[in-house]
Structures are given as C-alpha cells and as structure tokens.
Structure 1
Amino acid sequence: MLALFGAKSAAASAVDGRYFRFSWLLPAFAALALSGCMPATTQVTSADPADPAAKAARVGYRSTIAPYTSLRPAAPTPWRDRNDAVAPQPKQDR
C-alpha cells in the first residue's frame, strides 16, 4: 500500500514538475512502517519473576469503601423543614 501511494504521488508530481515537493513522502512512510519492526532498546532491570528468592515490594491493603458510613437506619425528617433549611431567605426590603 505504501509503495502504491509512493508511486502515485511520484507520478502525479512528475507530471506537474513538482517532484521535489513530494519526494520526502516515500522515505517518511517507509521509516514509519519499519519503525514498528525495531526491537525495544530499553532493558528491563527488575528481578526475574520466576526467581522465588527475588525481593519484591510489600503489598499494602487499602479498602475501597473505607470512607463509607451507613445512613440506612436514619429517621426521616419532615420535608417542609428540610426544604426551608436549604431555601434562600426572603429579602427584607420588599
């Protein structure tokens, strides 16, 4: 597919006399396509996972529901009192 695209762009640009404008496309796409075939350059420096004597970080426990407190057995309050508590106060100047 890249070769076809490169050939089409080269043919179209050669007809118009603008070959140098699109001459970088084929090498750029080839470099991009071949970069996926390169091996990883970073080395893994951690211990071998299969080694039972390898040191590992300690595992800590953190509860996912720690801040939760149950509010189920709460007695309901009258809705009028709750509504009046959060409603804006009426203005006195009117």
Structure 2
Amino acid sequence: MLTLSVATSAAASTARGRHFRFHWPLLAALALALSGCMPATTQVAGADPADPSAKVAPVGYGSTIAPYTSLRPAAPAPWRDRNEAVTPQPKQDR
C-alpha cells in the first residue's frame, strides 16, 4: 500500500513539473523507521533454527582431492627414444 502511494505521488509530482528526487531523504527515513517494525526472522518451512532439538540432515565429508594419485617419482624414459618418436620423418620422394 505504501509503495503504491509513493509511486502515485512520484508520478503526480513529475507530471506537475516538480522532481521526485528531492523527496528521497524523507522516504529513506520512513523506510528505515518502518523496518524496525519488521520481525527479525521469519518462519521458513521447517523447524526453528534456534531450536537445539530440531532435526537436521547429517553432515557428509567429501575430499576435494580424492581422485588425485601421485605420479612421482617416475622412472625417466631414455631421452633418445623419446626424441626420435616425435621427430618428423624425412621425405623419401626426392
């Protein structure tokens, strides 16, 4: 209801030529004052979070590095064989 009233007032003041931006401190103070009337927490579906006897889901642990396997120390391969495996073959057409 308050939002509709503010929007209507803003539209009317803009139509009359006055700018709405001069009223924003008043609206901010009004919103701050009315926020004190709101409850601190609202009841969400489920038990009250402040209740120590409330049932909760069990906590599970999952390692972030579980699939990791160490590859060191690894035996070095012969460098000449590895180098020759990636060397381009010479062309035989000449």
Q: TM-score range by the shorter chain?
A: 0.3 to 0.5
Q: Which one has more relative contact order, counting CA pairs under 8 Å at least 6 apart? A: 1
Length-normalised TM-score, structure 1:
0.43
Length-normalised TM-score, structure 2:
0.43
